[in-house]
Chain A
Amino acid sequence: MIAIRGLVKSLDHRVVLNGVDLDVAKGETLVVIGRSCCGKSVLLKHVLGLMKPDAGTVTIFGKQLDQLDRAHLYELRMRCGVLFQGGALFDSLTVAENVGLGLSENTTKSKSEIADIVAERLEWVGLAGIGPRAPSDLSGGMRKRAALARAIAMDPEIVLYDEPTTGLDPITAEGINDLIVRLRERLKVTAIAVTHDMNSAFKIGDRIAMLHAGKIIFDGSVDQLRNSADPIVQQFIVGATTGPLEPL
């Protein structure tokens, strides 16, 4: 469903992605792990067509993104949902307006139909009744949930999670992980999550890939990751300060 081939990207004269190859099958959840600033979010932005690669291709639903015009790119993006790292909720809109924005701008659904869908999605993420509130009134965990409700409002076939648990306390983070797993089972979506939270990676991932120095240095199941002999992988999942990786 998603195929990334030879992806290369440099930012500010620094090579961030240096020939990344990844495939995600339909219904699968791939978790990309890696250190901070290793290019995980850059990878996600390429999957969404928000960044253009220096070299390589990204193909989604059989369509190569760099060959699509803006209108077709927007059509394709409407089949995807994204949970941004900070939520990226629009401050000037209420939570309900945030969740329903994609529907009101891109569909011909009536206001009452949109309101029903918004209420349902908010209920799914455990935020029933908070639609009229402003995003600034919400806690970090609630903002993530509201952003997740927005990401799934248009029944996406692909959901991308950018650091879904970053900045949350362990209990709230676990709640978000449970929610992601439940939504995957309910919606049967294909998903890519990027994170450096190993608890989250083990919980939500069917498959895990590790990005390091611009390349995928590991790609396998959760068990294969746990048993990997690669010292970089082992140091990262254990979180040791000694080893081939130095603290940033």
Chain B
Amino acid sequence: MKCPTLRVGHHKTICDCVVGAALCDRPLYAREKPVWRGRGGRATSPVVRPSSLQPSPPAFLIAPLAALADTSLVELIRDIGRRILRLTVYVGGLTVMIGRLLASLPQILGSARLVVYQMLTMGVRSLPLIILTSVFTGAVSAWQAAYQFQNFVPMRFLGTAVGKAIVIELAPVLTALVVAGRVGASIAAELGTMRVTEQIDALEVMGVDPVRYLVMPRVTSGAIMLPVLVLFSDFVAILGALVVAVLMVNLSATTFLNGVKLFFHMSDMYAGLFKASIFGIIISLIGCYQGFQTRGGAEGVGRSTTGAVVIASVLILISDYLIATMLFRV
């Protein structure tokens, strides 16, 4: 059986079909997907050149070689430049917003009603979700710790390990990630919709500073309510761990709780709450900035929403590491 679209090249038989490709002897990398030509360039189908008739390189080199062969260095540099420029503009814009936010803080009392409303939205309405995720976070922590402890560490230390992990790390970070998904996305979508429907412009022309009216209440309530949510999360997660310790690991409640208290320091709790406050600022600030930067209708709102969750999540994890290195000296 022969490939139906065989044609004769200069020296060898070349096939440019897809259906019959498996039957002809054309090198694999000549049939790769359209080649990347940078953001501004046009993707083109690869051309079968005499060089493609050479023996195939190793599979892991196929994509880089194809890119190098068909992408000009100038275009590559231009694309890198564009990305750096976009990042610079993003950071610059965010810095300007932070400056305007700080300038609007003295008017916080005048915006108390807005702050309280946002505290209700961000905090109270997030509570059921936080409780649900925290119960299972605590439960799985206790189960995994017990699994690791068996035959090596006395089980009376189970509460110590789980309690420390929850208060210092798990509750703040997981609560922040859940809130980033729920609240950060919601802020970006709401403000993004306001941007594309000219509501933010309307505020501007009414002489109402949108940063004071929209951003400041959200960031303030984020900074206040995330530590509150983390406190709930601490409590509920330890409760979940206790249930697993008693019912599944056959540890007494007293032993588990004594373990929790054994090396418990209030400074750990404060560190967790401080981190939570920083995470709350990150979530709301990124959500607001993404919303303000929205362009292009429903698709733009979707992009901003996704971006808010992704950027906030990444920044939460990076700042978590940085804060840990500052607060907990090894």
Binding site for B on A (CB under 8 A): 45, 48, 50, 70, 74-75, 77-78, 80-82, 84-86, 88-91, 101-102, 105-106, 150, 154
Q: Are B207 and A88 in contact (CB under 8 A)?
A: no
Q: Are A48 and B205 in contact (CB under 8 A)?
A: yes
| Closest residue of B by beta carbon distance from A162 | B198
- Beyond A75-B207, A82-B205, list 20 extra A-B contacts (CB 8 Å): A48-B205, A50-B201, A70-B209, A74-B204, A74-B207, A74-B209, A77-B204, A84-B201, A88-B198, A88-B199, A90-B194, A91-B199, A101-B206, A101-B208, A102-B206, A105-B206, A105-B208, A105-B213, A106-B206, A106-B208
Inside 8 A of A106's CB, which chain B residues have their CB?
206-208
**Cross-chain pairs A/B with CB under 8 angstroms, 12 sampled:** A45-B201, A48-B205, A50-B201, A50-B204, A77-B206, A77-B207, A80-B205, A85-B198, A86-B197, A88-B197, A90-B202, A101-B206
Complex formed: what's the CA distance from A136 to B194 in Å? Answer: 14
- Indicate with 1 or 0, residue by residue over B173-205, a CB within 8 angstroms of chain A CB atoms: 000000000000000000000100111011011
The verdict on A88 contacting B201 (CB below 8 Å), with A74-B209, A105-B213 known, is yes
Inside 8 A of A154's CB, which chain B residues have their CB?
206
Q: Which interface residue of B194, B204, B206 has the most chain A CB atoms within 10 A?
A: B206
Inside 8 A of A80's CB, which chain B residues have their CB?
205
Complex formed: what's the CA distance from A135 to B204 in Å? Answer: 19
Complex formed: what's the CA distance from A81 to B204 in Å? Answer: 11
The verdict on A82 contacting B202 (CB below 8 Å), with A88-B197, A105-B213 known, is yes
The list of the 8 closest CB pairs from A to B, nearest first, reads A102-B206, A78-B207, A88-B202, A88-B198, A74-B207, A84-B198, A82-B205, A105-B208
| Closest residue of B by beta carbon distance from A98 | B202
| Closest residue of B by beta carbon distance from A78 | B207
Contact among A78, A90, A105 for B199, CB-based, below 8 A = A90
Inside 8 A of A70's CB, which chain B residues have their CB?
209
- Give the distance to chain B from A204, nearest Cβ to Cβ, in Å: 20
Inside 8 A of A85's CB, which chain B residues have their CB?
198
Complex formed: what's the CA distance from A82 to B206 in Å? Answer: 8
Inside 8 A of A90's CB, which chain B residues have their CB?
194, 199, 202
Complex formed: what's the CA distance from A105 to B201 in Å? Answer: 16
- Give the distance to chain A from B202, nearest Cβ to Cβ, in Å: 4
Q: Which interface residue of B194, B198, B202 has the most chain A CB atoms within 10 A?
A: B202
| Closest residue of B by beta carbon distance from A79 | B207
Complex formed: what's the CA distance from A198 to B188 in Å? Answer: 38
Q: Which interface residue of A50, A78, A105, A150 has the most chain B CB atoms within 10 A?
A: A105
Q: Are A50 and B199 in contact (CB under 8 A)?
A: no
Inside 8 A of B206's CB, which chain A residues have their CB?
77-78, 101-102, 105-106, 150, 154
Q: Are B207 and A105 in contact (CB under 8 A)?
A: yes
Inside 8 A of A150's CB, which chain B residues have their CB?
202, 206
| Closest residue of B by beta carbon distance from A103 | B206
Complex formed: what's the CA distance from A36 to B108 in Å? Answer: 42
Q: Are A102 and B199 in contact (CB under 8 A)?
A: no
Q: Are A102 and B207 in contact (CB under 8 A)?
A: yes
Complex formed: what's the CA distance from A72 to B199 in Å? Answer: 21
Inside 8 A of A89's CB, which chain B residues have their CB?
199
Complex formed: what's the CA distance from A106 to B203 in Å? Answer: 11
| Closest residue of B by beta carbon distance from A70 | B209
Inside 8 A of B207's CB, which chain A residues have their CB?
74-75, 77-78, 102, 105-106
Q: Are A102 and B204 in contact (CB under 8 A)?
A: no
| Closest residue of A by beta carbon distance from B206 | A102
Complex formed: what's the CA distance from A80 to B204 in Å? Answer: 11
Inside 8 A of A75's CB, which chain B residues have their CB?
207
Inside 8 A of B194's CB, which chain A residues have their CB?
90
- Give the distance to chain B from A157, nearest Cβ to Cβ, in Å: 14
| Closest residue of A by beta carbon distance from B209 | A74
- Indicate with 1 or 0, residue by residue over B207-251, a CB within 8 angstroms of chain A CB atoms: 111000100000000000000000000000000000000000000
Q: Which interface residue of A75, A77, A88, A89 has the most chain B CB atoms within 10 A?
A: A88
- Give the distance to chain A from B166, nearest Cβ to Cβ, in Å: 36
| Closest residue of B by beta carbon distance from A90 | B199
Q: Are B197 and A50 in contact (CB under 8 A)?
A: no
Complex formed: what's the CA distance from A74 to B206 in Å? Answer: 8
Inside 8 A of B208's CB, which chain A residues have their CB?
101-102, 105-106
Inside 8 A of B205's CB, which chain A residues have their CB?
48, 50, 77, 80-82
| Closest residue of B by beta carbon distance from A86 | B197
Q: Are A84 and B202 in contact (CB under 8 A)?
A: yes
Complex formed: what's the CA distance from A101 to B198 in Å? Answer: 16
